[in-house]
Amino acid sequence: MANSTPSKKITDYGARGDGLADDREAIQRALDARPGHIGIPPGHYKIGGTLRIHAHTRLSLAPQATLSLADGAARTADDYLLTNANPEAATADAGITIEGGIWDGNNAGNPRPPGLFDAGFSGAMLHFRNVTGLCLRNLHLRDAEAYHLRLTHARGFHIETIRFSSTRVRPNNDGVHLGGHCEDGVIRDIKGLHPGVTGDDMVALNADDALTRTEVNGMTCGPIRNIHIEDIEAEGCHSFVRLLSVWSPVENITIRKVRGTCEVAAINCDAARGCRVPLFDETAPPFPDGVGLLRNIDASDLLVAKSANNSIALLRFETRMENVRLHHFRRDLSRDQAPGQPTLRLRHVALRELRQTATGAGRAVPFGECVESDAADIPDLFINPQ
């Protein structure tokens, strides 16, 4: 890769990396100097406030470099371990690359406020808003208080080889979380390093959300388009992939190679019906035939099982859908903890056509009918194909 050697290191600006001194100001000086490519040598860097990275900056961490939020460093909704410098600017922050290292949210030392809507720290560790060409790779994300990594208003991003671990798993502990206005992205090689991680969705595409909730502060609602998700692996995570749409579309999404076990769902399209803050009134949904819109969704090569005995289906489809295809799905009953519960549940939607082969006849599903299947293998499933 061109320019593979950092032109400056944070130690050139006074960072110590001894785990005692607050290195936030020294690292921010390095970022503000904008030398292009900045290196972070091995060490434990305590961060006493939010780091803000500028456009056209490459930040390279040694594998043994740890950036950790200091106790009490995150108190407001604008506090993170790291974010981009200009989230509200007319021009997006372009060309940010971050690679390597351990990123520690120190959730024990940086709690969220207790209420669902209280002002204060959102719990998000890495947050990017208004960015283009963002590249994140080879990151170990650890002990976030809520979401490990959030993006909104992001285009042309590439997220690859991300590992998650937690000594203290927290609620709403999403791994890679996309909000509204995210387009043209790749999310690949996403893995939990031990059972129970992540404590919520490994990958979430939330076109709509409860923006007044504490952990959602700073996000937006809007369409999510053209996202490729590939190679997700975890044992006992909450869910693998969430596609959340209430008003805004989620479209042109591919999902490939999902492996492991989850407590709730492999693919969750419940329109947040299971969340503590409902996004709509079930008696008066946003559209005459239901809620949300998932369009052009193609998921294949899933080998999964339930790690908890509950009645939620591994495939939970409760959102309006157009041209959705699932193929090569397998439920591993040899280690499934809820073998008597449905593999697929489809409800709260009206379907023009539901069929299980590429060319065979399908059937219509009227609004109000619930379709369930306990099949361990689903070679093909087509929902409202074009």
- Which helix or strand (DSSP H or E) is residue 244 part of? strand 224-244
pLDDT above 70 for 1:
no
Question: What pLDDT is stored for residue 323 in this prediction?
Answer: 97
pLDDT above 50 for 213:
yes
Residue that has been written with the tokens 């009645």 in this structure: 311
The terminus-to-terminus CA distance of the chain in angstroms comes to 42
Tokens of 224: 């999510």
**Separation CA 84–CA 153 (nearest Å):** 12
Report the pLDDT averaged over residues 193-217: 98
More confident residue, 362 or 332: 332
**Separation CA 240–CA 252 (nearest Å):** 18
**Distance between alpha carbon 239 and the CA centroid of its chain, in Å?**
11
3-class secondary structure, 333: helix
Which range (134-148, 160-174, 324-338, 352-366) has the least confidence? 352-366
List Cβ neighbours of 91 (8 Å cut-off, separation of 6 or more): none
Tokens of 282: 């079930």
379, 348 contact by CB (below 8 A): no
Q: How crowded is the C-beta side of 242, counted as CA atoms within 13 Å?
A: 32
Residue that has been written with the tokens 């295809």 in this structure: 325
Question: What pLDDT is stored for residue 109 in this prediction?
Answer: 98
Q: How confident is the model at residue 357 (pLDDT cuts 50, 70, 90)?
A: confident
**Ramachandran area for residue 274 (φ above 0: left; ψ -120 to 50: alpha; else beta):** alpha
Report the pLDDT averaged over residues 204-222: 98
Tokens of 103: 């990123």
Amino acid at 386: Q
Report the pLDDT averaged over residues 265-278: 95
Tokens of 289: 């035939």
pLDDT digits (tens, 9 = 90+) for 51-110: 999 999 999 999 999 999 999 999 999 999 999 999 999 999 999 999 999 999 999 999
Question: What pLDDT is stored for residue 3 in this prediction?
Answer: 52
DSSP summary character for residue 70: P
Residue that has been written with the tokens 């949210």 in this structure: 105
The mean of the pLDDT values for the chain is 97
Q: Which residues of 175-185 are buried (b: 16+ CB within 10 A; e: fewer)?
A: bbbbbbbbbbb
Question: What pLDDT is stored for residue 386 in this prediction?
Answer: 75
Tokens of 83: 């974010």
List Cβ neighbours of 2 (8 Å cut-off, separation of 6 or more): none
Tokens of 162: 């991300």
pLDDT above 70 for 2:
no
3-class secondary structure, 226: strand
